[in-house]
Amino acid sequence: MAIKRARFINSLSLVEELTYKRLCIGKKRQCGGGKSINYYHVKKHSAIGFVICFFGLASCGKSYDAKKIVRNNSSHSLKVLIYKRLYPGEISRTFSIQPQNEVVIESFSGGKTGPYYENGKGCGNRDFDSTVVEVIDDNQLLVAKNLNSSDSWTFSKHSTSGSIDEECRATIIDADIVPK
């Protein structure tokens, strides 16, 4: 009997072994106040409880949504050029912004990975080589605001019970546009 018990215990993991020993040695045995405990029955219910707790905790995380917006409050039409990080000089995306309008240049939705823009520190150049803003209707003008710097962006965060929305916003005004 002792050899069978030792073989059975050796086949268990450390946690299972400790649980098994706590419940009484043996597959089915009288413990304490005359209750009969079946180890396999307890193990089955413990596994079900673990799975329920795991999925319960996994679904409790908040959803993170983040976006970068460029607002054109100037009197000129603007073009935003985003260059690729891995291929210098190659344009990844281009956006045109009419006066008194805005465009979302980057958007992430539905993820549960955590704050994307790091409370505003990541608003500048993050995933791109560089971001350049040009005046469309006048080649003699230059946009002086540097969108690659976090200082050019305003960060905001709105949190609800189920989600966190982060926004980085850059606003270009006539004072940001200077002669070349």
pTM of the model: 0.62
Residues 28-65 have pLDDT tens digits of: 555 555 555 555 555 555 666 555 655 554 555 667 78
Q: Among residues 120, 147, 117, which one has the least CA distance to residue 133?
A: 147
User: What is the per-residue pLDDT for 85?
Assistant: 75
- Residue of higher predicted confidence among 66 and 174: 174
- Residue of higher predicted confidence among 122 and 21: 122
- Residue of higher predicted confidence among 32 and 168: 168
User: What is the per-residue pLDDT for 159?
Assistant: 82
Residue 158 pLDDT exceeds 50: yes
Q: Please name the residues in contact with 138: beta carbons below 8 A apart, sequence gap of 6 or more.
A: 76
Q: Please name the residues in contact with 160: beta carbons below 8 A apart, sequence gap of 6 or more.
A: none
